Structure 1
């Protein structure tokens, strides 16, 4: 059916911490000066991308997952498994945590919890994230929250462009002001807020916190997951492996020239971070550029890349 990239129209979400950097970085037509998220590759019920080309143009990714599973190697599951976002943290996000699959199914009646990872696209000087905490027990965690001892509880890390972080479900975390990231995650939107800096929402009230759920799902004490970035230089491409874990694999590709033919293992998700690149499929050229997001479906068995650019490339690791 498809012998070309399945190009997707991005969706945008207004957030109280958002800004206009997604317009400045990628030329996106933002709906609001507080645009915090670009849902770049999504089949989620709260927002799914429209397909812009090919025989399914005008359909959504969510519909296509249901009706044309052959494009995804007949992968099992009611929902498209992954969600790719770009986040513009013009202000700091809430301190939060996400549940695992079991808790999501039992407590929220949703198919997936939320494990995610972050590739830092841009960071202002001295920008930080929160990744983990210092509490050694649930009692200590609750005590420090009750006493507002955030500096003693939360673990800050300085970040810069090109950094990569793995954030499994159960990890206390927050993205700080002045950070732009590309996030690859499970297809879930379940968030439990631990702390929100006493900010007011659009209704003038403090946003809801979820301390009991947060404590129940949080990893206490925190443990850093071990990840090892590896790089291979092959014809026309520097291919950096960022992570492979239960739900997804993520790589960063730098293209300079013409690559060798690349076999498509199943279906691949692409976000173009920089440049202009041609995707060659069965002798046909398909141009993609900075800010584009697309899927190479399972019907594309092999492809070649040509040009100068950078991608984040991911795929699902769910079993059939």
Structure 2
């Protein structure tokens, strides 16, 4: 059952014709060409696709008369980077969100030249192929193949040193800067275009596993994707090591054994994660945010979609410090600061739900009573110089934590998870805006100090969030909502300034859930197994296991969860989040 967490698949009932080798893909495209005199194929690639592989395995075997890289359509990398300098900024981590479109960067002379060349080959009855980012911008193409890529894979490629950002010659650059360029410029512009051309795409090509390609008609893929919003499902998580990481996920999920540790699991973050659609035993991997782009209102619910649009607002992930170290001391921006400085519409309010804890683990949250902001900032800045250490015991409130505690952490709250714990982080989705204030005088795996952002953090620290305020407002704010024979429902947060509400159910028999007019995100936080069922039979029973995050689309208005398998006769717990 570990595969249900590590590589969860979504069974698709509708059939699809999927081509599963490069040789067969080439033959299928040649057959298309034979039906037409003069034929142009556009292979549209998401940024950081392995275009060399596509050339070698698909384009060259097709033996086209003309091969064009879409890079020829655009201004050069130096000129483009100058145009987006305000979005990139000089900061290593933070930029300003781009609202550009690909057409803003076209070289008009080159664009016309390429278009004329394609028209000429068409008139001669020849096969032409244009490939890369923006390949389908040209109007005179007959077939569009879209090569998609999930962001977790993109980030791994940035780190490899073998790939450039789009229209940048920067392979091997600091991966944090490459991710910044992706987050603030590359991904928004590519996602915007992908949504624009959805109805024009003929085929989807999945080469997340480059040895196992899959080509599917886009209409069949979209029919399968639509089935996802009518059933519970899980995302494919992204496990990542970190300097403070622990060993719990390696032991519990059997993953990342080759890594020094695992710090994060992004297991409920559609913008980071992927989906595995199982068409009769053949799995297609896609970015999970494609579901929001195409079926956002059905997935989120009308109220939530009206507020957030094509963004999934709830985020679940794990922070593993078991046998590891403390997270950095940090703060998240207030919403007005996030809007003004970074061009995003909402901020990263969050919470810590304690899945596991040992050895007197603590959470750092707020400041000690009597701490003044000026003194705090002075001490942090002195520590940043590296000459003295920051006296966390003097300034920061620490609270002992135990299994199943829950701490709300609205923006402006200084916080950190201490060592020897596993945290289910339930938060708003913006994930780029963590201002580190102090990192315990350590360096990262690369030997460099991790970025500290005191200048950003200072205007966002709420100094009134001291021990007294924190204990009253943020620590275990449990309220009983309802109870019955064998079950208890509690509201556990989040704070009134946060838009997410969380409910914990403790039960030893079937318990009924309503979706509160919103998408629901859940995790089995206690118990080995559970079963999610529909009171009306609208979806197949869905089996989950301990620590598995799963999503209930808003199309499912009510559902039941009960102990199952190894948990029969036991009391188990789920945590549920929805938009108020």
TM-score normalised by length of structure 1: 0.89
1:254 aligns with 2:503: no
1:214 aligns with 2:214: no
Choose from 353, 358, 381 the match for 1:124: 358
The residue aligned with 1:276 is 529
Cα-to-partner distance string for 1:155-193 (whole Å, 9 max, x where unaligned):
122111121111110111111111111110111221111
The residue aligned with 2:347 is 113
Runs of 5+ in structure 2 lacking a partner? Answer: 1-226, 383-387
1:143 aligns with 2:385: no
For residue 242 of structure 1, report the CA deviation from its aligned partner. 0.1
1:37 aligns with 2:264: yes
Query: Counterparts of 2:254 and 2:274 in 1: how far apart (Å)?
Result: 15
The residue aligned with 1:180 is 422
SS in 2 for 1:214: helix
For residue 262 of structure 1, report the CA deviation from its aligned partner. 2.9
1:263 aligns with 2:526: no
The residue aligned with 2:413 is 171
For residue 280 of structure 1, report the CA deviation from its aligned partner. 1.3
SS in 1 for 2:292: helix
For residue 294 of structure 1, report the CA deviation from its aligned partner. 1.2
Query: Counterparts of 1:151 and 1:116 in 2: how far apart (Å)?
Result: 23
* 1:311–1:85 distance in 2 versus 1, CA, 3 Å: same
Query: Counterparts of 1:289 and 1:36 in 2: how far apart (Å)?
Result: 21
Cα-to-partner distance string for 1:240-278 (whole Å, 9 max, x where unaligned):
21014331011222231222x433223211112222112
* 1:54–1:242 distance in 2 versus 1, CA, 3 Å: farther
Aligned length: 313
| Deviates further, 229-238 or 308-317 | 229-238
Query: Counterparts of 2:300 and 2:459 in 1: how far apart (Å)?
Result: 35
For residue 301 of structure 1, report the CA deviation from its aligned partner. 2.0
1:243 aligns with 2:471: no
Q: Give the structure with the higher percent helix.
A: 2
Query: Counterparts of 1:235 and 1:57 in 2: how far apart (Å)?
Result: 43
* 1:22–1:139 distance in 2 versus 1, CA, 3 Å: same
Query: Counterparts of 1:233 and 1:57 in 2: how far apart (Å)?
Result: 42
TM-score normalised by length of structure 2: 0.51
For residue 52 of structure 1, report the CA deviation from its aligned partner. 5.1
- Note if contact 1:6-1:52 (Cα within 8 Å) is conserved in structure 2: no
Trace 1:94-113 onto structure 2 (pairs within 5 A): 94-113=328-347
Query: Counterparts of 2:556 and 2:415 in 1: how far apart (Å)?
Result: 37
The residue aligned with 2:319 is 87
1:68 aligns with 2:295: yes
The residue aligned with 2:478 is 229
Runs of 5+ in structure 1 lacking a partner? Answer: none
For residue 122 of structure 1, report the CA deviation from its aligned partner. 1.2
- Note if contact 1:6-1:53 (Cα within 8 Å) is conserved in structure 2: no
The residue aligned with 2:249 is 22
- Note if contact 1:235-1:258 (Cα within 8 Å) is conserved in structure 2: no
Choose from 558, 561, 567 the match for 1:302: 558
Query: Counterparts of 2:513 and 2:449 in 1: how far apart (Å)?
Result: 50
The residue aligned with 1:152 is 394
Query: Counterparts of 2:231 and 2:284 in 1: how far apart (Å)?
Result: 12
* 1:120–1:71 distance in 2 versus 1, CA, 3 Å: same
Q: Higher Cα Rg: structure 1 or 2? A: 2
Cα-to-partner distance string for 1:183-232 (whole Å, 9 max, x where unaligned):
10111221111111110112212222111111111102324352531233
Query: Counterparts of 1:251 and 1:156 in 2: how far apart (Å)?
Result: 25
Cα-to-partner distance string for 1:60-102 (whole Å, 9 max, x where unaligned):
3311111101221131324211110111012111111110222
Query: Counterparts of 2:492 and 2:279 in 1: how far apart (Å)?
Result: 31
- Note if contact 2:314-2:521 (Cα within 8 Å) is conserved in structure 1: no
- Cα RMSD for the two superposed structures: 2.3
Choose from 27, 39, 48 the match for 2:273: 48
Tell which has more relative contact order, 1 or 2 (C-alpha 8 A, sep 6+): 1
For residue 51 of structure 1, report the CA deviation from its aligned partner. 4.8
For residue 23 of structure 1, report the CA deviation from its aligned partner. 2.8
